[in-house]
Structures are given as structure tokens and as C-alpha cells.
Amino acid sequence: EVQFVESGGGLVQAGGSLRVSCAASGFYFDEYVIAWFRQAPGKEREGVSCISGYDGSTYYGESVKGRFTISSDKAKSTVYLQMNSLKPEDTAAYYCVARATRSCAVTMMGPMSYLEGWGQGTLVTVSS
């Protein structure tokens, strides 16, 4: 069973930085892509970023491109999301999910029903 434990969220001022992490278990890293999604109060879930366990390729949503960086440590089965130049509109619960594919584009654009491992998430609050 695909499982994630997210951590690292907190309160930060606009313009600040934060790094969130998710520890993965229950699947073979190299055969999946792992993505960060977020959900703000009253809004739909939004794909933020993705990394392929197969080749390390990455994908970023337009709203975070140039500000966020995704990375992974396969030895630790952990994926990180470094968030810089944070804005109040980045306030949301951040979740890691996985899909058994090699393509981040397929993962980020496809149905959410294919995403596995929705956990508790980690809350990021950006104050203005």
C-alpha cells in the first residue's frame, strides 16, 4: 500500500522559504512518479510539482514555477519541496501522492482517481 507521511509545514511570512518533506513507503520508488498537490480552504486540489522516480524528470505548475524546487532522496525514500518567495496564495495543506507511471505530465494532467497515498498532509500558512 502506497503511504506518505508529510512534514515540515508551518507559518511563514510572505517572501520567506519553507521546505516540506514526505516519507514514502509501500512501493518501488523507481516505478512511480511522486507529486505534491495542495488544497486551500474552499478551493479544489491543485497539482504543484512532480518528480519521476524513473529518470528524475520534474514538472511544476505555472503558479509555482521558478519559486519551488522538488527533489528526492531515494536512499531515504523521501521527496522534498523547497518553497521560496512564498506568497499568501500558497497557503494550503500540501499532500504527497504517487502514480505508477513514468510520466509527470500524465500524473499532473490525468484523473486524480489514479493518485495513491493521500495522507494527512502538512499545512503551510503564509502571512502577508
Write the CA distances from 128 to 14, 60, 91, integer angstroms.
5, 24, 11
Is the pLDDT score of 4 beyond 90?
A: yes
Mean pLDDT over each residue of the chain, to the nearest integer: 95
Over residues 37-56, the mean pLDDT reads 94
Task: Give the model's confidence band at 84: pLDDT under 50 very low, under 70 low, under 90 confident, else very high.
Answer: very high
Task: Give the model's confidence band at 15: pLDDT under 50 very low, under 70 low, under 90 confident, else very high.
Answer: very high
Is the pLDDT score of 6 beyond 90?
A: yes
Is the pLDDT score of 29 beyond 90?
A: no
State the Rg of the chain over Cα: 13
